Amino acid sequence: MTTRPRVAVLDYGSGNLRSVARALARSGAEVSVTADFEAALGAQGLVVPGVGAYAACMAGLRAVRGDQVIDRRLAGSRPVLGICVGMQVLFAEGVEHGVRTQGCGQWPGTVQRLHATVLPHMGWNTVRAPAGSLLFAGIGRAERFYFVHSYAALGLPLPAGGYLRPPALTWAEHGEPFIAAVENGPLTATQFYPEKSGDAGAALLTNWLETLR
């Protein structure tokens, strides 16, 4: 009998916690929703969801030492999955309404407002995943994922020689190209909501859970 991977969904006051937990459970995980540092550190996988303003999410994350648990987990190559603003806070900083907020700094780059006629970007969109992607393995190019956001990372400016294996980037477009997902060893993130993305999102979560085994 295959053991269900143990996944903690970090509760820091922001995110679709229950819908994320239900989607992970349907995809085969044993899920707990927690704000406890040790529980989040000890799980096989950690999911960091996020909804709302960048600054508010970072304040909530720091209040439960979420930035520290992410850093500690990655130092030990223990998987982390960020979703929506939970992805955005992994970058160096975010700028909203002229306010610049320091992020977790796991990746360089700035999260900023999209240049698009209609905002927020709300609804279904296709993505362009890189060859060899583990996250999108078996998922067709025509599949769509569900987005709700006005801000995004428009690039990942890598320092020369800073990565032995550069992060794999998946792109989408709304007004301009933006990063829809990142795969970087134990650190993975999506700008879209896999838990709201139907069969394609379920397949993606299943792929992520496979990396925990």
Q: What is the mean pLDDT of the chain?
A: 95
The reported pTM is 0.96
Specify the higher pLDDT residue, 159 or 163: 159
pLDDT bracket for residue 25 (50, 70, 90): very high
List, in order, residues 6 or more apart from 192 with CB less than 8 Å away. 84, 125, 127, 145, 146, 147, 172, 180, 181, 201
pLDDT at 161 over 80: no
91-96/107-113 β-pairing: parallel
Q: Which domain holds residue 171?
A: 6-210
- 170 vs 168: CA distance, rounded Å: 7
Q: What is the pLDDT of residues 93-137, one digit of tens each?
A: 999 989 999 999 999 999 999 999 999 999 999 999 999 999 999
Q: What angle do CA 168, 8, 76 make, to 5 degrees?
A: 55
Per the structure, how many domains does the chain have?
1
Indicate which CATH number applies to the domain containing 75: 3.40.50.880
Task: For residue 113, give both structure tokens.
Answer: 């407002």
For helices 54-63 and 66-75, what crossing angle results, to 10°?
Answer: 80
Q: What is the pLDDT of residues 57-102, one digit of tens each?
A: 999 999 999 999 999 999 999 999 999 999 999 999 999 989 999 9
Q: Is residue 1 part of a domain?
A: no
CB atoms within 10 A of CB 27: 23
Bridge partners of residue 121, in order along the sequence? 149
Q: Is residue 202 part of a domain?
A: yes
Question: What is the structure's pLDDT at 163?
Answer: 67
Q: Is residue 99 part of a domain?
A: yes
